[in-house]
Structure 1
Amino acid sequence: MTGPAPGPLDRVAPRYGGGSLIDVLPSALSLLGVPAAVDLLGLTPTLSGVRRIAVLLVDGLGWYQIPTAAPYAPTLAGLAATVGTPLTSGFPSTTPTSLVGLGTGAPSGAHGVLGFTVRVPGTDRVLNHIDWAGAPDPVAWQPVATWYQRARAAGVAVTVVSRPEYAGSGLTVAANRGGDYRGAAGVDALAGRMLTALAAGDGPTLVSGYHPDLDRHGHLSGVDSAPWRQAAAEVDTLLARLVDGLPPDAALLVTADHGQLDVPAAHRFDLDTDPRLRAGVRVVAGEPWVRYLHVEPGAEADVVAAWTAVLGPAAQVLTRAAAVATGWFGPVPESHLARIGDVVVVCRDTYAVTATRSEPPMASRLVAYHGADTAAEMTVPLLVVRG
């Protein structure tokens, strides 16, 4: 990013096409000779001649969380200071959207995974992209070919290493199809399987790894809580092992899907206990910091007015058309428009909108959240290490 760094609560737009998470794989694969892959991030001067690339995504490792993690993660802090640069996530700044954005190199409007949960058009069903088995078919729901598929077609050996329980899920198919899947249950297994895959064979190689624990402990206990600090130390162990084990012709790229912010109890609106917020709303989707409201026929203007009055400066309330016009999602084809709410509510500062009755109870009890467009949520690292 150029110019002064934004403050953690400043609003940040996704920098699609040269400064975002979706640019990581095409930039990396341009070094491996994959057709149509373009080095949008300028990796070539540093990584020219590399034939093996590992990409590690650490869930919840926002750029603005790195100083907080530094006392427990000296390797991470050192890499961020010497070989790190900030990127933006896509929008919403949430795990399913970011994982599919990384895999496809496409913004959320194009790939269609437009939030943590979205309404399935033509129904009142809300699809949770994390807990996704069966319908809708992930290849139909997310139609964009992944860079793993493109790399494999170009002769690159492609391996995806993640938790065993994620194998074959709808989100895994949507984000990672084209890679050979290897299950790894913890940091030791993740590092070992990534390094083994990276060193196998003599041809161009891409290995993608995913580690979820920092995000999980941020949600459950808060950023800089004792469990979060322990998770940061485990991330450091993972990074140190990967860096030490890189083959001479390899590179490691470390990034993340989003950051996190703690949300105080006094900054939470409960849409299920405030009749003003429920009036005219048929289906609620999205997540606490980005709500998608699907409204009853003719109720759009009333819902916008009511939510604007109740939330005030705590949120921006827009119609679907206005939200799309911001460019948050990139171009949105007609087939994906109805996945976005008739009304879109993007929270500001450290405010959130929970749904204590219509969503699983745990979703309202979390400490930290993400999804909106503050710098702390949207800004993620890119750490570039050559073997």
Structure 2
Amino acid sequence: MPRYGGATLADVLPGAASALGVPVRRSDLPVDPLDLTSALAGARRVAVLLVDGLGAELVAAHPRQAPVLNALGSPVGTLSAPCPSTTPVSLVTLGTGLPPGSHGVLGFVTEVPGEGRTLNHVHWGDDPDPLQWQAAPTVFEQATAAGVSCTVVAPHTFAGSGLTRAAYRGADYASAFSPGDLVAGMHAALRTGRRSLVYGYTAELDLTGHVRGLDSPSWRAQLGIVDRLVEQLAEGLPDDAVLLVTADHGMVDVPDDTRLDIGEEPALTDGVRLLAGEPRARYVHAEPGAADDVLAAWRAVLGHRAWVVSRAEAVESGVFGAVDPALADRIGDVVALARGSWAFTDAQQDPVGSMLAAYHGSLTPAELTIPLLAVRGRALD
């Protein structure tokens, strides 16, 4: 289980902002449980690079492809991604400093309650309104109000998206068109203002893993490119800056013999009104009055292959952190989180997503464990 308020991705930006003198508010969570205020002491500029898909286990398993990453120290050891361990959930968790149950982006795809439709948070525009769907203030808003110059450097295609506004509002958005542009943009943003907080995002490692698999020459080559990107960022750091490198989740390869197509199992569709989530983190919304039967069927069919619980059981477990009652309906009546390398695809509804080589979203160490690495500017060594 993620330890929200202890050592998760949610704790990174609040700690970094606190180190810059920002009075961060995090509801009832401690402001800086990682003690980044001490670890970043003296820094006037902090950069956080999030590498999509860079699980801590994957870094450690590839020292030859990632010598720079493996040589970096960590101020706190590894962290946990939130649950579900998937990109939109993690990015909003990072940006708000809150668990998913508090900010409301609770899955890759979730139901829009009362409307009988789903929201894919990666393809989100302005419906529903991002400021209402995710109403919690971001760390960037709080840092900007405290006089810190805040910049997000990320792909130009994400500028103005619903997910960008939900996760990063309060920061200036600088479009990056390539890895080199990302490096240059982060370096330039770090030099703005008397204090600066800069966030950078790169997606290609995750995409390569999904399409080619983790045990592929393509993925290993892409990891080497990420390693060089981090090296370039470190080389150009201002003397009074610190670079933190983290991730949103890890990944697991899913072979053919640990895939189950939901559409080919009639017991998994009986009484189901709407299927959301993704192959390793399913939300199942039942027809009125059918929730208990659907739960029993999913438990019977999936058996050891998943942790299958009711919404109430999932909320009670703390896997999403404290869940705002107004947001709970975004979670399915039934929650199925895959064990091992299992994935529960749906070729009829999502043919492309069902053909991927690797996935994430569940609670295995390979998916949840993420790095937090640090490089300090020369004046701080």
2:69 maps to a residue whose letter is: L
2:319 maps to a residue whose letter is: W
Is the partner of 2:198 in helix, strand or coil? strand
Partner of 1:8: none
Is the partner of 2:372 in helix, strand or coil? strand
Give the drift of 1:348.
0.5
Identify the match of residue 344 of structure 1 among 300, 324, 335. 335
1:366 aligns with 2:356: yes
Report the more deviating stretch, 296-305 or 124-133. Answer: 296-305
Partner of 1:10: none
Partner of 2:206: 215
Task: Kindly tell me the number of residue pairs found equivalent between the two proteins.
Answer: 372
In 2, the alpha carbon distance for the partners of 1:235 and 1:185 equals 15
Contact 2:86 2:107 in 1 (8 A): yes
* Cα RMSD (Å): 1.2
Is the partner of 1:293 in helix, strand or coil? strand
Runs of 5+ in structure 2 lacking a partner?
26-30
Identify the match of residue 86 of structure 2 among 66, 86, 94. 94
Superposed, 1:24-173 pairs within 5 Å as: 24-36=12-24, 38-79=31-72, 85-173=77-165
1:14 maps to a residue whose letter is: P
Give the drift of 1:298.
1.5
1:260 aligns with 2:260: no
**Over 4 Å off, 4+ runs:** none
Contact 1:148 1:178 in 2 (8 A): yes
C-alpha offsets along residues 124-175 of structure 1, whole Å, 9 cap, x if unaligned? 2110000111210001000110000000000000000000000000000000
In 1, the alpha carbon distance for the partners of 2:312 and 2:68 equals 44
Give the drift of 1:254.
0.6
1:137 maps to a residue whose letter is: D
1:96 maps to a residue whose letter is: P
Q: Taking structure 2 as the reference length, what is the TM-score of the superposition?
A: 0.95
Give the drift of 1:101.
0.2
C-alpha offsets along residues 326-358 of structure 1, whole Å, 9 cap, x if unaligned? 101111112111100011111101101001112
In 2, the alpha carbon distance for the partners of 1:385 and 1:309 equals 49
State percent identity of aligned pairs. 52
C-alpha offsets along residues 188-232 of structure 1, whole Å, 9 cap, x if unaligned? 11000000110233x110000000011000000111311111210
1:179 aligns with 2:171: yes
Partner of 1:250: 241
Contact 1:315 1:347 in 2 (8 A): yes
C-alpha offsets along residues 72-99 of structure 1, whole Å, 9 cap, x if unaligned? 121111115x667200011110000000
Is the partner of 1:69 in helix, strand or coil? coil
Give the drift of 1:36.
3.0
Partner of 1:386: 376
2:243 maps to a residue whose letter is: L
Contact 1:83 1:385 in 2 (8 A): no
Identify the match of residue 8 of structure 2 among 10, 20, 27. 20
Contact 1:84 1:381 in 2 (8 A): no
Report the more deviating stretch, 40-49 or 334-343. Answer: 40-49
Partner of 2:218: 227
- Is the alpha carbon distance of 1:84 and 1:333 closer, same or farther for their aligned partners in structure 2, counting shifts above 3 Å? closer
Contact 1:68 1:224 in 2 (8 A): no
Is the partner of 2:63 in helix, strand or coil? helix
- Is the alpha carbon distance of 1:325 and 1:83 closer, same or farther for their aligned partners in structure 2, counting shifts above 3 Å? closer
Is the partner of 1:71 in helix, strand or coil? coil
Is the partner of 1:136 in helix, strand or coil? coil
Runs of 5+ in structure 1 lacking a partner?
1-12
Is the partner of 2:170 in helix, strand or coil? coil
Q: Taking structure 1 as the reference length, what is the TM-score of the superposition?
A: 0.94
Is the partner of 1:26 in helix, strand or coil? helix
Superposed, 1:295-306 pairs within 5 Å as: 295-306=286-297
In 1, the alpha carbon distance for the partners of 2:110 and 2:157 equals 23
Is the partner of 1:291 in helix, strand or coil? strand
1:355 aligns with 2:346: yes
